[in-house]
Amino acid sequence: MTSPSSVANITTALLLAAGTGTRLQPLTLDAPKCLTEVGGVPILEQLVKHLRAQGFKRLVVVIGHLGDHIREFLHQHASDMQVDYVFNPDYRTTNNIYSLWLARQQIREPFLLVESDLVFETWMLEDMLQPDKMAVSRVLPWMNGTMVELGLGQRVSAFRMNGDRCSDARQYKTVNLYSLSLHSWSKIEERLSRYVSERRLGEYYEAVFAELVADGTLCFDAVIFDAGRWYEIDTRADLREAENLFTRPRAITSRSLTVTKPAATLA
């Protein structure tokens, strides 16, 4: 049996970047959401820097809204990496479950699933480089959407969809970062195909993950992200809060180093 320590780190990332970002308009009328700037740096540029620093070699990017802008940007900023594209022609009328399903032809190796509206720091990925991990954080007032509960050994035991909260200290917010083994991906792909065949294209892929975790088919070990060092940007209010968070100096702690620097570098 192969021990966890002997499993090679993941070097492929799947970025979902097809959405229209309507809640960020007018900023997203002439630029895709992932090119929105935080601290003067596009979100996508920050993500590429984080992934490169952690040894990632390949990006698979699902594009839709203004996808040519993303292609041009990555041609300039990720020329040292292999970049493959998947186009979602129905990006205006489908949700991320369809974008993930469309990527199935491109993914035949363990990978990191990344939503392209996240800002965080490079070192936070260190524990996400092995398969079947899921980034979560303690719940802050601004957070909504999918929550999870943790069981023994920090394993994800249940999903709570649609922002269904409880006072249980075991409840955490999903960060929308997942590392997946090929075994897990095959199970997810099978269930995604069922949703697509049933034309359930308006749902989030977390619905699939929730089902598979509930029936024991899928297992995630939680990686706890510092709740004050990441942000998901959906609205202009989110953007303002992220700007405030990542442009003020504060102590940044990693495994081996504690320094004080402006977090706007995010590199």
CATH number reported for the structural domain that contains residue 44 in this entry? 3.90.550.10
Do β-strands 58-63 and 82-87 pair in parallel, antiparallel, or remain unpaired? Answer: parallel
SS3 letters across 59-85: EEEEECCCHHHHHHHHHHHCCCCEEEE
User: pLDDT tens, 194-236?
Assistant: 999 999 999 999 999 999 999 999 999 999 999 989 999 999 9
Residue 13 lies in a domain: yes
The mean pLDDT of 170-181, rounded to a whole number, is 94
Q: DSSP string covering 6-44, please?
A: GSPPP-EEEEEE----GGGTTTTSSS-GGG-EETTEEHH
- Which amino acid is residue 166, in one-letter code? C
Residue 166 lies in a domain: no
Alpha helices in the chain (DSSP H): 43-53, 67-77, 96-102, 182-197, 206-214, 236-247
Global pTM reads: 0.88
Total number of domains constituting the chain: 1
* SS3 at position 238: helix
Residue 41 lies in a domain: yes
Residue 187 lies in a domain: yes
The domain in which residue 120 lies consists of 8-132+174-265
Residue 223 lies in a domain: yes
User: pLDDT tens, 69-127?
Assistant: 999 999 999 999 999 999 999 999 999 999 999 999 999 999 999 999 999 999 999 99
